[in-house]
Amino acid sequence: MDNYTAPLRDIRFVLEHVTPLSELTSLDDYAHAEPDLVTGLLEEAGRFASEAIAPTNRDGDAQGAAMVDGGVVTPESFKRAYQQYVEAGWGTIQHPAEYGGGAFPLTVANAVKELITSANMAFSLGPLLTTGAVYLLTHHASDEQSQTYLPKMVSGEWSGTMNLTEPQAGSDVGAVTTKATPQGDGTYRITGQKIYITYGDHDLTDNIIHLVLARLPDAPPGTKGISLFIVPKFLVNDDGSLGERNDVEVVSIEHKLGIHASPTCVMAYGEKGEGAIGELVGEPHTGMRGMFTMMNDARLGVGLQGLAIAERAYQQSLAYARDRRQGRAPSSEPGEQAPIVEHADVRRMLLTQKAYIEAIRALCYTNAHALDLAHSSPDPVVREQQQKLADLLTPLSKSWGTDLGVELTSLALQVHGGMGYVEETGVAQHYRDARIAPIYEGTNGIQALDLVGRKLPYDGGAFVKGFLGDLRDRAETVPDSLASIGDGLVDAIGALEQCTDWIFAHSEAPNDVFAGATPYLRMFATVVGGAYLAKGAVAAQAALDAGDTASFDADFLSAKVTIARFYAEQLLPSVHGLVGAITAGAEDLYAVTPGQLAP
């Protein structure tokens, strides 16, 4: 009941019809990522995910990570799987060739990340943080730092972490108090404590490269006074070999609701002496700029986690529904029990999962596709516009993907009935694992504030209005044979445009805007997801009409149309119920005091 099958056809369909890989392979940077090569790579990644990593999910949850003799020990199955992961080079795919990477588009790399994350979310978190750390260092480290750290981080022999949070500074990063004292030789002594550090310590790699936010002695207050430092677990000698242990210790690991095998650590810097030795990345007081490079990469990766865990739970609920017999279906003979997949409400739950999963996948892959074009298009106008698109989509990918990850794993549990609520079937683990994703890398409420406060104002609002205009134009040209999809989209876009105009009209009353930010993000993402499903449905219907079933068979293509229609007719209308919450303002939120809210 806990097997995983890589959804390769669904992924390939998105890469062909929603986020065309051909647009990327026409660029010099990605010319080598031709379709046949990518298809083979994804097939092998799917096999590896299902055969090597998926079997570690249950025992990893049961065993968890543990503190032993002052260090973190991971499950034995993780050690074997991670070694295979490194030997196969799965972590290298998107990184620059000069450091041993495959230089594939992020769009392709994220497809592989989806597969690995579906197989075992707790396992995938280590590579996710390392990828983000590599991305940060690629953009902000000196040449010497890059040559010292990146080759082994790209290969996966060394891992990376993100050290932001402190006990008094959660989402308020400006409250960080960790200190960095210059030593006069180009190094710094780092002292302080960090909490909630994913894979802050473990036994999977030879070294762990911590990226740590800290304050210099002359630092101004707030985020403008934060600098970024490389603090390795083991110091690195001039010849690249590992030297003495740095003054970095794991104090404890958290006992969490889910992702038990992912060590979430409390880290202490400099408790045994003068401080841990660190190297400044970039210029003083520019740490947040560097860290946001890593965080934005991680935010899209976390959105993929919502997709991946929902896909894994969906597959399990579908298998259970096809196998479990209970009750009589309308077509059953008297006294004959039918598989529960024959019951209308179970079908509704399964199709709801499937439709949302396909919409999230299309959104996250489009987000990555925009980042690839922003990085590699030779046209500066295209680069600028695609970067703005990626910036707009990132809070949608992160928040909507992870909110739905929780909701859809809950639906998968519901399909199991009482068996879903016990640990025996394994679906409860997916629900527990999914719950962290809306919290980390900036809570989803913060993502909503980012959307309305930073992303909508691009170009004085012209960019988002142009984006919505493009969505409307495409919706209005949906063929008559798919009229309910086009009509549903046009109506939903109208509601989104109405609410967007309201936000701009109330920009001088930020609390009123912020009060509706979360439902606005939900509306925005739901509409965008529907638009991308419609794009796929149009392509599928065109292939059916032309009899072109060489790449995808008729049953598969017909299902794409049906799923998009179900979304447009039964899920997309939910956006109209969000208008009131978006435009209500903040008056009622502040009309009651905390005392009045108390029992």
Task: State the DSSP string of 289-344.
Answer: HHHHHHHHHHHHHHHHHHHHHHHHHHHHHHHHHHH-B-S--TTSPTT---BGGGSH
Please name the amino acid found at residue 329. A
Evaluate whether 502 touches 583 at the Cβ level (below 8 Å): yes
Half-sphere exposure of 374 (CA within 13 A, CB side): 16
The DSSP 8-state label assigned to residue 284 in this structure reads T
Please name the amino acid found at residue 331. S
Separation CA 337–CA 358 (nearest Å): 31
H helices of 49-203, in order, are: 56-63, 76-88, 106-119, 121-140, 143-155
Residue 230 β-bridge partners:
211, 279
Separation CA 473–CA 493 (nearest Å): 10
- 3-state helix, strand, coil split of the chain in percent (to 5) is 60, 10, 25
CB atoms < 10 A from the CB of 505, how many?
11
Q: What 3-state DSSP class applies to 553?
A: coil
Terminal Cα distance for the chain, rounded: 44
Burial of residue 304 (number of CB atoms within 10 Å: 0-12, 13-18, 19+):
buried
Evaluate whether 42 touches 110 at the Cβ level (below 8 Å): no
Q: What 3-state DSSP class applies to 205?
A: coil
The DSSP 8-state label assigned to residue 236 in this structure reads E
Evaluate whether 213 touches 161 at the Cβ level (below 8 Å): no
Separation CA 132–CA 293 (nearest Å): 8
Active site residue 144: no
Separation CA 411–CA 349 (nearest Å): 6
One of 249, 279, 358, 441 is an active-site residue; which one? 441
Interacting residues of 79 by C-beta distance below 8 A, sequence separation 6+: 203, 204
Positions annotated as catalytic residues are 441
